[in-house]
Amino acid sequence: MRAFVFPGQGAQTIGMGKALADAYPAAKAVFEEVNESLGEDLSGLIWGGDIEELTLTANAQPALMATSMAVMRALEAEGVTIEAASFVAGHSLGEYSALAAAGAITLADTARLLRARGLAMQDAVPVGVGAMAAILGLDLAAVKQVAAEAAQAEVCQAANDNDPAQVVVSGHKAAVERAVEIAKAKGAKRALLLPVSAPFHCSLMQPAADAMARALADVKITDPKVPVVANVLAQAEADGAQIRGLLEQQITGAVRWRESVMYMAAQGVTDVYEIGAGKALSGMVKRIDRGLTTTAVGTPESVVAVAAAMNK
């Protein structure tokens, strides 16, 4: 069994998806449709802009989704459809890419939702008030204890359970800084603040969750062609009506990536394909379950190779 997984923020690079757009008209059409839906030349920024501007949350989110969808269109041109996967899943914003790939939300609506999501998440907390930190070498239970100890009447929560040795905390800056020191004292291999613009996936994001509830209310969400393993559930959901609420919860809820991968493996998944920019999820998947085979698909060459293997 196969799973297609879709990367989240941090995977963005200048030039991502350009070779695919040059090689596949259907991939180029993805970027053109995203440009049109947003009313701007996002592909120009992706392919020839400034990395700091691309990294802004409101740009990175639709840009990464567009790149993932360009890979999907290239795969389709080579005869591989989304139904080749038994499950799809995405890391944070990647869940929107997964839903678009599975046909639950149109490409144009997904781009507009992610622009709204990025702006809402950026605006939810003033710059400098919140922070996130990666804790390496402690498991989820230990990091939850660290966060609780560090909170001291502020917000500090486990936000991303990425793999057995990497959990990210999010919340008020001072609380997150305390968590870094407490984690080091408790034996973390490393604990470091992340270069992010807001404290994602914690209760400070409630204003963004409210904004997304309004944005999602205006969008048609249908049942996905392939079950989506939702971040907040760490299990599959195939009901479009339920997915709307899960996307709202995802803004303040933890990204349960480790459990999501374990769930897919328990259902019989053996091969995981990372669809889009970078290889970050492939590394996490291998650390979660070494028995899983991972393949990053983000270039024309990788598309051709994967299609040849699947079409045998």
Active-site pick, 201, 260, 282, 302? 201
Active-site pick, 37, 68, 92, 197? 92
Closest CA to 7 of 85, 76, 58, 67: 67
Do 40 and 32 touch, CB atoms closer than 8 A?
A: no
Do 255 and 284 touch, CB atoms closer than 8 A?
A: no
CA distance 312 to 310: 6
Tell me, yes or no, if 201 is annotated catalytic.
Answer: yes
Tell me, yes or no, if 43 is annotated catalytic.
Answer: no
Closest CA to 93 of 216, 255, 208: 255
- By annotation, the residues acting in catalysis are 92, 201
